[in-house]
Amino acid sequence: MPNDPQSQAYFQSLVPQARILFRQGYDEARATVRPGDLASVVTLVRSLHRAIDIMGREHVGKAAAAGNMVECAAGCAFCCHQNITVSAPEAVTIVQFLRAQARDVPDFAAHAAAIDGLDFVGRYAKGLPCAFLTDQRCGIYDDRPEPCRSYLSLSRAQCERYVAVATDGGLTILRDPHTLHPFLVAGADWALVQAGFQMVSMELTALLAQATRPGVCERWVAQEATFTTAPNDDYLARLEHVAKAMA
């Protein structure tokens, strides 16, 4: 919850929509995912992504009507130098995408080690793009995670300056999708926790370094605790807090 009054007022204005999204994600996960069935996890995540994309287009349209144009476009990959946090279902879905495409798997462990401890300014300064970025294109675009889908910039020039100068000069993005869309994913994650699945959330490549090991995804969907988390990981506590707030 933000501390300053203006941000608090903004967040409170979105609570009714956040509750709807949280419940939507929760209900869909309960209805879709079956223990031992990796395909059901992929079905859930891709359905959530479709809903996010639809909402994103609506946000973009409203912004354009108000004179604020989203400047994200194919080949613009300045935002692909940020740390992205994902939870287990999205990581499992990416692994299934890589398997289906018979793609070479990047060295996720090395990539995670290279960016460990860096904030986005430090990462920009070192010029470390996403492990999936090739020729300014996302190699997993159809299955890219929610944070990537919800990051809609109103100034390409500002994004470019971050990469070129690596200073925190401020970015202008659409706030509503960036704030609201995670509640859809959180609802689904909480449903899976309630159903007995281990739930973790961490930096994309760090989680994929584990998820791409042989048998990890299969054991996870069989409801085994297969992922290792940091001692200070608080994702389950945060999920529980959100679930209570959304009740």
Query: pTM for this structure?
Result: 0.92
Angle between helices 88-101 and 175-194 (to 10 degrees): 90
Q: Could you tell me which residue, 76 or 112, shows the higher pLDDT?
A: 112
Euclidean distance between CA atoms 193 and 181, whole angstroms? 19
Q: Give residue 7's pLDDT.
A: 77
Confidence class of residue 230 from pLDDT cuts 50, 70 and 90? confident
List phi, psi (to 5°) of 137.
-125, 145
Look at residue 122 and give its three-state secondary structure.
helix
More confident residue, 81 or 197: 197
More confident residue, 45 or 118: 45
pLDDT interval class at 170 (50, 70, 90) = low
The predicted pLDDT at position 123 comes to 86
Read off the DSSP letter of residue 202: E
DSSP string, 142-173: GG--HHHHH--BS-HHHHHHHHHH-S-----B
Provide the phi-psi class of 199: left if phi over 0, else alpha when psi is between -120 and 50, else beta: beta
Cα–Cα dist 185/203, whole Å: 16
